[in-house]
Structure 1
């Protein structure tokens, strides 16, 4: 399958809202959102963020991400990363993250890309180091049901 990426469009919102399969997956993608993800919640996040991007394959929407921080010449922080359930395990997340790194480089002239990943998100914790991210901090956060979770913060110099 040929993967491509492009800026998010309003008509993509409803499909992206279906990607998180339960409260835990939504928490990984968008900790401040309430499950189920609604078009209003996602649209508000997109309006406050930069570089909102989707990945398509054969005309089907497969993944989404953006930057919650985008400092021109500084740091871009990757957020709202999510892959459609049927597309998982097929390199789509890798393509998405690599596309976002290139966007940070070309559009924002970033010198560093950061990403944060919760301790229970094994797929993310395994993927990001493969793409050159190195952990630099672990911070405590409150998870679903007032549980303690660790947020592993990683960075990659560009």
Structure 2
């Protein structure tokens, strides 16, 4: 079935809240949230962000993402990326990142799109460079278990490489 996207609706929020399977997955998606993800936490994030988008296969919502920064002619930052458990490993994450990147360039005339990924998130670290994102900074963060963690910031310019 073909993937498609649309703006998030109130009816989608409960479904999206079920996507993170544990506290670690929620941390990768939304580090400031507390597990389990609640409708109130997600609604608050949606209200503070831009272009919150759901991704569907058939009649099922299988993914979600938005921008936490969207500057006309500047930088757009993709955040809150999550794929439903049953849809993982089927190209949904690639579709999400490609769609959000195109949206940044088309709607905001962005010069650069950024995405960040924790060092423990192997799937993200392997995917994002395949989609043209290159690391440009590493920020120290505290992981859920209070260990040191690295948040790797990556960017992609219009030509598919960091500017």
Does TM, scored on the shorter chain, surpass 0.5? yes
Q: Runs of 5+ in structure 1 lacking a partner?
A: none
Q: What is the aligned-residue RMSD (CA, Å)?
A: 0.5
Q: CA deviation at 1:147?
A: 1.4
Corresponding residue of 1:48:
48
Q: Runs of 5+ in structure 2 lacking a partner?
A: 159-163
Corresponding residue of 2:22:
22
- 1:59 maps to 2:59: yes
- Pairing 1:31-46 to 2, within 5 Å after superposition: 31-46=31-46
The structure 1 segments of at least 4 consecutive aligned residues displaced by more than 6 Å after TM superposition are none
Tell me the SS of whatever aligns to 1:93. helix
Q: CA deviation at 1:145?
A: 2.3
CA distance in 1, matches of 2:145, 2:60: 34
Q: How many residues align?
A: 158
Tell me the SS of whatever aligns to 1:36. coil
Corresponding residue of 1:103:
103
Corresponding residue of 2:2:
2
Q: CA deviation at 1:107?
A: 1.2
Q: CA deviation at 1:146?
A: 1.4
